[in-house]
């Protein structure tokens, strides 16, 4: 007679985590999010660990939370996880001010933002095949293949 269970917001092979109220602008946070998109979680963690950006530590915490959610809540294998999506959103903005010359007022905006990280478990064989296909697509065309195409 109780309430029904909430449906999962992500697929069966996915897990996600969200961090709000990060004290940086969404534009700066999106640069760090772009650093980890599409990478394996081990690579993403090492990239965030050695990043010089101040907000990278908070993004690393969010990524570790998503990994813990995948392992504990959804029984996913940590070794096969990739960062499927990482998106950034705006949050509140503190409005501050500073007196300027001739009685004017300089407005100072201090934005906050939020990040959501979605991890996906991929089959190792399928991931290797996709990597090979991607590598083959990036390989420059040789003179022989250029003549064949023409």
Could you report the average pLDDT of every consecutive run of 10 residues in the chain (150 residues)?
84 95 97 96 97 97 97 94 97 97 97 98 82 80 63
pLDDT at 138: 82
pLDDT at 129: 79
Model pTM score? 0.82
pLDDT at 136: 85
Instruction: Dig out the tokens for 78 from the structure.
Output: 């940590």
Q: Which residues, other chains included, contact 61 with Cβ-Cβ below 8 Å and sequence gap of 6+?
A: 19
Domains and CATH numbers, the chain: 14-99+106-138 (3.90.470.10)
pLDDT at 126: 77
Query: For 31, what's the count of Cα atoms within 13 Å in the CB-facing half-sphere?
Result: 10
């Amino acid at each position: 007679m109780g309430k029904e269970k909430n449906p999962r917001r992500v697929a069966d092979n996915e897990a996600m985590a969200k961090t709000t109220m990060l004290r940086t602008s969404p534009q700066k946070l999106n640069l760090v999010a772009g650093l980890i998109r599409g990478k394996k979680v081990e690579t993403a963690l090492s990239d965030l660990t050695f990043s010089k950006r101040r907000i990278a530590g908070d993004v690393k915490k969010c990524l570790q939370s998503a990994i813990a959610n995948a392992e504990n809540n959804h029984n996913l294998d940590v070794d096969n996880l990739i960062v499927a999506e990482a998106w950034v959103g705006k949050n509140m903005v503190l409005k501050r001010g500073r007196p300027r010359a001739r009685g004017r007022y300089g407005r100072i905006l201090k934005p906050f933002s939020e990040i959501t990280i979605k991890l996906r478990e991929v089959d190792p064989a399928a991931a290797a095949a996709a990597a090979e296909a991607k590598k083959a697509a990036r390989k420059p065309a040789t003179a022989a293949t250029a003549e064949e195409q023409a």
